[in-house]
Amino acid sequence: MLQGRRVLIGVGGGIAAYKVCQVISTLAKLGVEVRAILTDNAQQFITPLTVATLCRHSAYTDELFWQPSQPRPLHIELGEWAEVMLIAPLTANLMAKLVHGLADNLLTSTILASTCPVLLAPAMNTDMWHQPSVQRNWQLLQTDLRYHAVNPGSGILACDRVGMGRMAEPSEILVYLHSLLYTQGKRDLIGKHILISAGGTREHLDPVRFIGNPSTGKMGVALAQAALHRGAKVTLVHAPMETRLLNSLSGVRLLPVISAVEMRQAMLNCFPEADWTIMAAAVADVRPTEYSAEKLPKRLLPNQLPLSAAPDIVAELSHIKRSHQRLIGFAAQTGDIFTPALEKLQRKRLDAIVANAIDQIDSGFGSDHNQAIFIDHEGRKVAIGQCSKLQMAHHLYDFIHTMSGKPVMAMRDEDEWHG
């Protein structure tokens, strides 16, 4: 996906410029062709030599911009070369220049001479960030659909203040760049509310013991990221998962739950407002019949644990789904992944299902990669080879877009499904 792709990075004059080095280094190691422009102020924080070494290519500065020896204007060459641009850190001064279309240096001239999507990563002192003039500029800039935003976070700043203004972490910026390289900046989910479930539910026997599964929630997180990057409003109902995964979801509404019962209630509450619902969570099939509010001594643990059925959330949602809504399920399988997934799609009257193999190397639970077969209610199927979970999420949204608008045939449980 990334080998040979072209990313142009514009570095603004702020202390957060040091973070950009990690972005450049990671992209280069993935085979991306990286070029970088440093403003004069940026060179007060990192050197062209540092950036050139990480890029495996000379860094560009205003000194080169004004030299007449170029066969074509440098800003035109760079603007046409770039598939995606990243501006990081985006300073208050640089933001104002972009809002007003100024072109007084190599970086701003290159932006105006290009048509590719531009990812903006602001960073500044918290008082500067909260200035009404800066906030007006920030909001105005985002009305241009060419510009994509990775919002600053909150924390301890270089000036020792605590508040908003920290540039997004390199990991979050890299994920967004991957999305833009896939989508070429399209926002085909604007106006859509995407509801996603993620992670493995826990069915507790007592406060320290539970029935669970290996799901980490990475697929659900990737689905949320991809939907957000394509312009959707996103709600993620998630079982317990690592904080670092949740920290990558700035702009996503997060609803934490633990058990299948809690997830059921959260999904039912959110479902009426959702256009597309994707049940990527690994929801428990059974739960202990009895729960002890205190930890059970080992000697009191039952030899045979009484179990009862956990709620079948996706089946319940399919019964209340309206004609304009889409409901997509997941089926984690071993061996033959197609047949049981098709049976689940038919039995639960889903619009589509993702059959993903969990017994393949570097795929499924806990992995950063996945492979799957998409099946819709009209019988179409698309096989997706091993790829990153973010790329898998984008493939799924492309698949949903191509689905027929016909409603799923209503049927009783004993009826056969005819496609």
Which parts are annotated binding residues for CTP?
285, 295, 311-314, 330, 344, 348
Map residue 299 onto helix, strand or coil. helix
227, 277 in Cβ contact below 8 A?
Answer: no
Do residues 45 and 14 touch, judged by C-beta distance below 8 A?
A: yes
The structure tokens 């609803």 sit at: 255
Helices (H), 106-192: 106-112, 126-129, 132-141, 170-183
Q: CA 237 to CA 217: how far, in whole Å?
A: 10
Q: Is 294 helix (H, G, I), strand (E, B) or coil?
A: coil
181: its two tokens: 């390289």
Tokens 């017994």 — which residue? 359
Question: How many angstroms from the chain centroid is the CA of residue 398?
Answer: 15
Tokens found for residue 146:
């060419």
In whole angstroms, give the CA distance from residue 265 to residue 60: 54
**C-alpha pair distances (Å), 377 with each of 195, 245, 337, 408, 415:** 20, 32, 17, 7, 15
CA distance 311 to 394: 29
Residue with tokens 């000194």: 63
Binding residues: 285, 295, 311-314, 330, 344, 348
* Ramachandran quadrant class, 46 (left: phi over 0; alpha: psi -120 to 50; beta: rest): beta
Residue with tokens 């999420």: 393
Is the Cβ–Cβ distance between 201 and 239 less than 8 Å? yes
Q: How many CB atoms lie within 10 A of CB 268?
A: 14
Q: Is 159 a catalytic residue?
A: yes
User: Sign of torsion, CA 200 402 186 137?
Assistant: negative
Considering only CA atoms, give the Rg of the chain.
24
Secondary structure of residue 388 in the 3-state scheme: strand
Set 21, 55, 116, 159: catalytic member: 159
- How far is CA 259 from each of CA 46, 142, 216, 273, 306, rounded to the nearest angstrom? 48, 38, 15, 23, 17
Length of the chain: 419
Active site residues: 159
